[in-house]
Amino acid sequence: MKNVVGALFYLLVALPGYGYLYKDKDVYTLRKWNPERQRYRYWVGFCDFHDKTHKANFAQRRKIEELLPQRARDTFHVQVEDLSSPNDEGRLGCGSFYINSSVGILAGLASFCKEHGVPVQNVEYRYCRVVALGPVINNIAADPFLFPSTKRMMISHLMQEIEQTYSELMLSNDNPLFKNLLSQKFQEIAENMKKMDLMRYQNKSIADYLSAFSSPMQRLDIVKNLLTFDGVLIGFKLVDGVIKVPDKDMIVAFAGGTHIAEEYALLQRIDGWEPIKMGTHPLERAASVSQDIAAPAVGYGIKPAPVSIELLEHYLKN
């Protein structure tokens, strides 16, 4: 019988599970001219903020579930970062462990879309480290060897997730700029893995690694770094997904704010999308254009305002 590991943390890392859609530039919006159809395509990115206690969670999720199945399937595409559903490669969890979460704005959203015939891409791939580190982050002072998933998951499992995702992206996309930028970012990730001494510990368990490199007083920083240091690959997976659906007139992405900002910047730089100008619709506003991968300016402990139901409905219906 499979061990069940809940999505046990929020606010600390850019991983989905719990949260609500917040107002960072309201939402991110882009468009791209389709010469064959003689009309614009649109991309809208909703940022997830990880606070399971916020009252906006239920209302926003209910509205999403109400509106998504109403869209025309042939011209609509959803992207989501969802650890509680299988990803596009069919992976869910790691070994005999999986994430069991049904609470929050993103939890199970990919499965909901599939059950209701809504075209969806689930870009998540970090299952092994979440099942291994979730119990630790919720019990930061405890001995890591107390948790079965932390004791049984190896550092090599974490490295394989990263390397496999990079290889899949390099094989699936022929855009030279995409490949060049991805290669540069992966070199940075590889350098970080070297600095973190992951190669030397690849045949050790994650519990062994945490015991060797951290004490309860400073373990949280180590765990947060292990969870997020390769997060830019999520941004590239999102962009790759957009490039693969040139026939879709509307693409809506639900992911952590950092990844939405990455997708927003990369789509402009790689695939020729442009920000929607102020005044296109009274509910839309201009967003700054960056040639670099950017992150929203939301600090730890600061809760941004949730996106209004009116704004959410506007983008999902139009």
Q: Where are the domains of the chain?
A: 3-140+231-317
Give residue 167's pLDDT band: very low, low, confident or very high (50, 70, 90). very high
> Does residue 17 surpass a pLDDT of 80?
no
Q: Looking at residue 104, what is its pLDDT?
A: 67
CA distances in angstroms from 129 to 3, 155, 222, 288, listed in the order given = 15, 9, 13, 34
> Does residue 12 surpass a pLDDT of 80?
no
Q: Exposed, middle or buried: residue 298 (CB in 10 Å: 0-12, 13-18, 19+)?
A: middle
Distant-in-sequence, close-in-space partners of 21: CB < 8 Å, separation ≥ 6: 27, 46, 47, 48, 49, 56, 60, 105, 254, 306, 307, 312
> Does residue 75 surpass a pLDDT of 70?
yes
The pair of structure tokens assigned to 9 is 């943390």
213-224 average pLDDT score = 92
> Does residue 296 surpass a pLDDT of 50?
no
214-241 average pLDDT score = 94
> Does residue 7 surpass a pLDDT of 70?
no
What SS3 class is residue 235? helix
Residue with tokens 């139901």: 309
124-129 average pLDDT score = 93
74-102 average pLDDT score = 85
> Does residue 305 surpass a pLDDT of 90?
no
Quote the crossing angle between the two packed helices 176-195 and 257-271, to the nearest 10°.
140
271-280 average pLDDT score = 76
CA distances in angstroms from 209 to 9, 49, 125, 271, listed in the order given = 21, 29, 21, 40
> Does residue 30 surpass a pLDDT of 80?
yes
Question: C-alpha dihedral over 24, 225, 139, 165, to 10 degrees?
Answer: 90
Question: Is the model more confident about 119 or about 23?
Answer: 119
Q: Looking at residue 97, what is its pLDDT?
A: 84
Distant-in-sequence, close-in-space partners of 110: CB < 8 Å, separation ≥ 6: 80, 82, 85, 86, 87, 120, 122
> For the ranges 55-69, 121-135, 185-199, 236-250, which has the lowest average pLDDT?
55-69
> Does residue 284 surpass a pLDDT of 50?
no
Q: Looking at residue 48, what is its pLDDT?
A: 73
219-234 average pLDDT score = 94
Question: Is the model more confident about 308 or about 276?
Answer: 276
Calpha distance 113→316 (Å, rounded):
14
Percent of the chain whose pLDDT exceeds 90: 56
Q: Looking at residue 73, what is its pLDDT?
A: 86
When the pLDDT of each residue in the chain is averaged and rounded to a whole number, the result is 81
Give residue 67's pLDDT band: very low, low, confident or very high (50, 70, 90). confident
Q: Looking at residue 102, what is its pLDDT?
A: 63
Q: Looking at residue 60, what is its pLDDT?
A: 79
Q: Looking at residue 127, what is its pLDDT?
A: 93
Cβ atoms of 106 and 19 within 8 Å: the answer is yes
> For the ranges 20-24, 88-92, 128-132, 196-200, which has the lowest average pLDDT?
20-24
